[in-house]
Every structure is written in C-alpha cells, then in structure tokens.
Amino acid sequence: MRPSLIKLLDKTLLFRYSLPNKQLGLDRVDISTLEDDAFECVSDSSLSEIIYNSIIESSFNEFDITGKDLDSLLGAALRTKIKYKEDQTDATKIKYGFFGEVLLYLMIYHFYKSKPLISRGYFYNPLENSETKGYDSYHLVEEKGSVELWFGEVKFRDTLGSGAKSAIEGLDKAFTDAYLEENVLAMVNHTNNFAMTGSKIQEIIDLWLDNSSINIIDEVKKHKMKLVYPILLIYPDNSKDFKSKIKKTIDHINSKYSKKQYSASVSIELFFILVPVSNVKKIKEDVIGWISSKKPLLS
C-alpha cells in the first residue's frame, strides 16, 4: 500500500474507542460477539480522496502494482476489476458498491492487520456488468497455529437504518456452510493471484482439486479456522458530538435487532466498524467527478 495513502488514511479516520465503553456509558451492538469499533471521519473530502486512490489497491494484489503506472492501473481497474460504466448517470453510479468495498479493504488491512488473501477485483467479470457476488473482503490472519478468515461486509448508505438492515438481514445467508463453501470454491480459479502462498486455505483448495469429493467445511473445521465477519457501516450523522453519534447508532441497531442462532457449523466472530460521516452523496459524487476528470493520483 502506498505510504501516501496510509498517511492520508491515518489522518482522516481516527480510531476513537471500542465498544462497550463503560467510562462513556456506551454499549456495543447486541448481536456482536467481539468489541465494536468507532472511527471518526475528520474530513469527507479526504475520505473521497482515499476511496478514489484506493481503487487501485483494492483491485490488484500488491505485486501487480509495484513499478506500474498508476494512471494506467486505475484505467484498467475501472474497466476490468469493478463495476463502473462512464456512460451511466451519476444517479446510477452513486449506487455502485465499490465506494464502501475499497474502504473495507483498506481498514481491515491497515487497522486490523488482516492481510488480503486475494483482491476482490479478481472475481469481477466485465461481461456480466454486475456487482461482484460473495463476501466483500477476502483477508486472512494466520499466526501461532490459528487461522482466521476475514470475510466481511460493508454498507455505505444514505441512512443508518438502510445500511444496518441490509447488512444484518444478510447474515442468514452469509453465516451458512453452503455460502462459505461457495466463496472458498470461488477462489479455485484464482489461486495464481493469491497475495500469499502456503496458506491453510490454499491447502484446502489444492486438496479439493485433487479430490473434489472432500467436504470443504469439514476441512475448514479440521484446521480450526474461524470466520471473522467485520461489518463496516458508513452513514450520515451531523450531530455535533461524536459520542452522541455513536450512542444513536447503537441504540438504533439494538432497538431493532437481537442475537439469533445461525446455521453455520464453523466458528464465527462478528463485530461492527462504525464510521459516521457528514454527507454520503457528496463523498461519492466527488469520487465520480475525479474519475471523469482524471484527477492526479497520490504517488
């Protein structure tokens, strides 16, 4: 990741606290199994710049970026790695999913030290001209014998209610053995594009290629892999006090959703990353405008 992008990220998204926070009297989201995290966005414009620049980082693995012309890479990403059609209206472009997906990629890579197993851009098919299906991130943490699959979700919506509803109602599908297996199988044709070699998930894929009758979920459990599912919510809130923003967020989610059992047989951890901003539409409009004008990228 470009040092200039990391520097901008650290200046723009400030970690404020984890939840629950007894000192501030703040709860966490009831359905979370881990602590939730609250980040303050100090500048919507800077967040737009992060999104604009990180299209490259989230579309290609790092070894595909090194030494390459950034402008050419951005052009290739817009044509082959994400859904983006220059001839569509701004109203249509604002609904694209990549705005939030690139932020999820950066945040869990940089702030949570979860390395990308493969860029999600490799799953995009330009012929289908549709949003990439599956989880919104494919990251991996392997250390001291434990393996965590960071396959998360992001919602970047005009209202908190819309984003939370979409993310939480989607958990019934996301937390099933069948869906996890489908997402592992989706990587089968992309092992040459893995950003790291020798991982446990690659071992499972290689084993399946040698014997497609094996049960992938059984292998995931045999290796004691855990599914870690961060849900990044980016939503507007212009309250003056940051604590008030987070309290309203937690109160809203907890008033509408409670813990439930999911059908997945693998171990699951769930937490929320909360990022209130001022103006969702303006953030996305700025990115769209800079793509059209070919604004210079961070070097």
List, in sequence order, the alpha helices (H) in the chain: 3-12, 44-59, 62-65, 70-80, 90-93, 98-110, 160-169, 171-174, 177-185, 200-210, 216-222, 242-256, 280-293
Q: What is the pTM of this model?
A: 0.95
Of residues 42, 174, 160, 154, the one with CA closest to residue 99: 154
Using 50, 70 and 90 to split pLDDT, how confident is the model at 246?
Answer: very high
Q: What is the pLDDT of residue 179?
A: 95
The 10s digit of each residue's pLDDT in 133-187 is 889 999 989 887 789 999 999 999 999 999 999 999 999 999 999 999 999 998 8
pLDDT of amino acid 298: 93
Residue 254 · residue 29 · CB < 8 Å? yes
User: Which segment of 21-30, 124-133, 166-175, 245-254 scores lowest on mean pLDDT?
Assistant: 124-133
What is the pLDDT at residue 119? 85
Q: Which of 10-24, 71-85, 125-139 has the highest mean pLDDT?
A: 10-24
pLDDT tens digit string along 199-227? 888 999 999 999 999 999 999 999 899 99
Confidence of residue 22 (pLDDT cuts 50, 70, 90): very high
Binned at pLDDT 50, 70 and 90, residue 26 comes out as very high
pLDDT value, residue 216: 94
Note the pLDDT tens digit of each residue in 44-90. Answer: 999 999 999 999 999 988 777 878 899 999 999 999 999 999 999 99
Higher pLDDT, 119 or 45: 45
pLDDT at residue 101 in the model: 94
CA angle 101, 103, 105 (to 5 degrees): 70
Task: Express as a percent the part of the chain with pLDDT over 90.
Answer: 79
Mean pLDDT over 265-269 rounds to 95
- pLDDT value at residue 132: 82
The CA–CA distances, whole Å, from 95 to 52, 130, 201 equal 15, 12, 32
Q: What percent of the chain has pLDDT over 70?
A: 100
